[in-house]
Amino acid sequence: MRISYTFRNMESSDGIKNYASEKIGKVQKYMRAPLHAEVTFSMERHLHRVDLNLTGDGHQYAGHGQSEDMYATIDQVVDKIDRQVRDMKATETHRRRHGGESLRHPED
């Protein structure tokens, strides 16, 4: 799992990086292939903004959120991405299991 971090209008923090990587790691369990994540933390006036772009299993997922607390914003964005990943996985599973009609056996 590769995660790249970008901080805009704020200082880099190891605590925020560790918290984000821990949360993003929980999304990894739904994916087979290693994932690549790009996380951008920014401060706009009094709001903390997090943008997360995630690539894995041949799909791209994106989410962003804003709130007054950085950790709450990270939770919000990771929950959005988690929901997207689970929905995509359910769609793929449904497509694989959906079969055509079975043929009737010819009567002798």
Does any domain span residue 106?
A: no
Does any domain span residue 102?
A: no
Q: What is the pLDDT of residue 42?
A: 95
Contact yes or no for 54/81 (Cβ under 8 A): yes
- Predicted TM-score (pTM) of the model is 0.79
Give percent above pLDDT 90 in the chain. 55
Does any domain span residue 36?
A: yes
Domain of 62?
2-94
Q: Where are the alpha helices (DSSP H) in 10-103?
A: 14-28, 70-97
Does any domain span residue 105?
A: no
71 burial via Cβ count (<10 Å: 0-12, 13-18, 19+): middle
How many domains are there within the chain? 1
Does any domain span residue 108?
A: no
* SS3 call for 11: coil
Residue-wise pLDDT tens digits, 60-93: 999 999 999 999 999 999 999 999 988 888 776 6
The band of 56, judged by pLDDT with boundaries at 50, 70 and 90, is confident
Looking at residue 62, which CATH number applies to its domain? 3.30.160.100
